[in-house]
Amino acid sequence: MYIRGIQLLVTIYLCCGAFNEQPIKLKSMRVFITSFLISMVGLVSNGQDYSRQDSLRGTITPEREWWDLSYYHLNIAVDIDNQSVQGSNTIRYKVLEPSQILQVDLQPPMEIFKITQDGKELEYKQERNAYFVELKKPQITDAYNEIIVQYGGKPRIAPRPPWDSGIVWKKDSMGKDFVSSISWGAGSSQWWPCKDHMYDEVDSLKFSINVRDDLMAVANGRLLSIDKKNNKTKTYHWSVSNPINNYGVNFNIGNYVHFSEVYEGEKGSLDCDYYVLKQNRKKAKKHFKQVPMMLEAFEYWFGPYPFYEDSYKLVEVPYIGMEHQSATAYGNGYQNGYLGSDMSNTGWGNKFDYIIIHESGHEWFACNITFKDVADIWIHESFTTYSEGLYVEYHYGKEAGDDYQIGVRGNIKNDRTMIGNYGVNDLNYTDDIYSKGPTILHMLRQIVNNDEKWREVLRGLGNEFYHQTVTTEQIENYISKETELDLSSFWNQYLRTTQIPVFEYYFANGKLSYKWTNAIEEFIMPLKITLNGKGEWIYPKTNWQEMDTNSEELTLKVDRNFYVPSFFSNSN
């Protein structure tokens, strides 16, 4: 998924990028940090009001905590003429500790008709979007049990796909029905009953979709079989054999044609399947040649594609695109950039199709490694946006990759902290997860100062947290441990405040004095500079440090890969 609007805030970019492009030649100086910068990057409150409904949705409630998802069989009929969905979800779970009340989520106007366990109908109480099911059978630790939830209705029409959930009902350019589901935003429970919290992923999934027989239904994983019915419909049975998060589950219906190829990757032969509208087959066959290029680059940086068993797919959809595990949604019009625009403003963003690269990058960060709580959404979007620059670097060289990463900085707003509020399904996140996030990862790479090590860390993340849900702390601790660096103040500064540390310095009597300002007190971060034409690492703290330059003059330039403003003045 990408940013909800294209905003370009050039100011910070000018401060941090353009000023650093030119060496600053000074005799004796004092750095002045203009007050506008401080006001711009000052702390902004994340204060929000949350409702009981937000907590029911966003908390691991006692009625969720005692059971662990094992398997879903989502079995639905999609009636396009009536814009309705009807069917059932079989929810298999493991009992972690005995309890008799189980929470299932489904949002109006969708309704639950009946819930059964072992053929016996169960009572349930509804509180807003949550249903509390009263189980009759004793729930014994380690037992696997199932409930079947029958439901239906006219799900909400997705108001702004992919940023808000529901169903997209459209016609394609040939007038054929073109339908997709979206689960981001308000959530999967907009159109199917589930445990609508990200911490618990189902281990495997079967998804059966009944549609009119002139159309095809495509979902996650592999197509198992197609049943022809007597009523001019077909049921497509899809199967996912790996853990999958809720918002990754999706169906797409259209006048599709299918073509495929096999990519010989790090883990063997990977089936790549493409489902595109019939009229776009020719264009797609040419344009999707970017897929093997993407796989080559991302397997190099992040390790094997995480779902070989379930194949890789691109599926054409009636909206821009979305990460959907093993069934990446594609709607970028077979062109490079983001609907033709370069998100980095460097020219490099027009060398690739943004949706193919970005949404596929999410297979590693979002589908493989999934946040437990949406407050940590930076993990999905920051690593994935960072992957775009790594793609550029892999195919066009390191300088091009650096250009891209630095270009993305132009979108930073510093309006809210990167980490949101926990336990309340906080969707009011900052778009900085797409700009500041990759920027700090790029800066971290400079600090590690060993590209092979950095690649090991990136690949290690995919291994360490393979098919898991994680917290920010787990990611922080892993990177700190593997790099053998104390990064605690780095994470606290950049993830938990909106302040951007400024490199403040002056030059007098042959001595360079410097420190971090606009930073948390304990902030330490090495900085690469060019001093009198020579590359140097310096180690500013938040109190003044001093360094003999053995020179009457000073030329100082902060390395462009650091997102570090450094203001100066010629006045003595």
> What is the rounded CA–CA span in Å between residue 301 and residue 305?
11
Q: How far is the CB of 182 from Zn ion (least distance, A)?
A: 13
> What is the rounded CA–CA span in Å between residue 549 and residue 513?
10
> What is the rounded CA–CA span in Å between residue 126 and residue 545?
62
Measured from the CB atom, the residue of 1 and 130 that comes closer to Zn ion is: 1
Q: How far is the CB of 376 from Zn ion (least distance, A)?
A: 14
Measured from the CB atom, the residue of 67 and 247 that comes closer to Zn ion is: 247
Measured from the CB atom, the residue of 67 and 365 that comes closer to Zn ion is: 365
Q: How far is the CB of 538 from Zn ion (least distance, A)?
A: 35
For residues 411 and 7, the answer to whether their CB atoms sit within 8 Å is yes
Q: How far is the CB of 440 from Zn ion (least distance, A)?
A: 17
> What is the rounded CA–CA span in Å between residue 322 and residue 320?
7
Measured from the CB atom, the residue of 204 and 385 that comes closer to Zn ion is: 385
Q: Scan for tokens 């194949």, then name that residue.
A: 311
CA distances to 61, 134, 198, 374, 419 from 428, in Å: 22, 34, 17, 10, 11
Measured from the CB atom, the residue of 1 and 357 that comes closer to Zn ion is: 1
Grouping H, G, I as helix, E, B as strand and the rest as coil, residue 195 is coil
Measured from the CB atom, the residue of 162 and 193 that comes closer to Zn ion is: 162
Element (H, E) at 381: helix 378-396
Measured from the CB atom, the residue of 63 and 376 that comes closer to Zn ion is: 376
Residues at the interface with Zn ion (CB under 5 A): 1, 381, 384
Q: How far is the CB of 429 from Zn ion (least distance, A)?
A: 12
171 φ/ψ angles, rounded to the nearest 5 degrees:
-115, 145
Measured from the CB atom, the residue of 74 and 419 that comes closer to Zn ion is: 419
88 φ/ψ angles, rounded to the nearest 5 degrees:
-150, 160
For residues 561 and 21, the answer to whether their CB atoms sit within 8 Å is no
Q: Which residue is nearest to Zn ion (CB)?
A: 1
Q: How far is the CB of 312 from Zn ion (least distance, A)?
A: 17
Q: How far is the CB of 321 from Zn ion (least distance, A)?
A: 9
Number of residues that this document lists for the chain: 572
> What is the rounded CA–CA span in Å between residue 144 and residue 121?
18
Measured from the CB atom, the residue of 7 and 480 that comes closer to Zn ion is: 7
Instruction: Supply the DSSP symbol for 18.
Output: I
Q: How far is the CB of 80 from Zn ion (least distance, A)?
A: 29
Grouping H, G, I as helix, E, B as strand and the rest as coil, residue 405 is helix
The sign of the CA dihedral 412, 417, 419, 422 is negative
Q: How far is the CB of 366 from Zn ion (least distance, A)?
A: 7
Q: What is the largest CA-CA distance in the chain?
A: 92
Measured from the CB atom, the residue of 74 and 366 that comes closer to Zn ion is: 366
- Residue closest to 392 by CA, chosen among 410, 405, 411: 405
- Retrieve residue 443's tokens: 């800066």
Q: How far is the CB of 385 from Zn ion (least distance, A)?
A: 7
Q: Enumerate the β-bridge partners of residue 169.
A: 179
Cβ atoms within 10 Å, residue 146: 14
- Retrieve residue 522's tokens: 């304990």
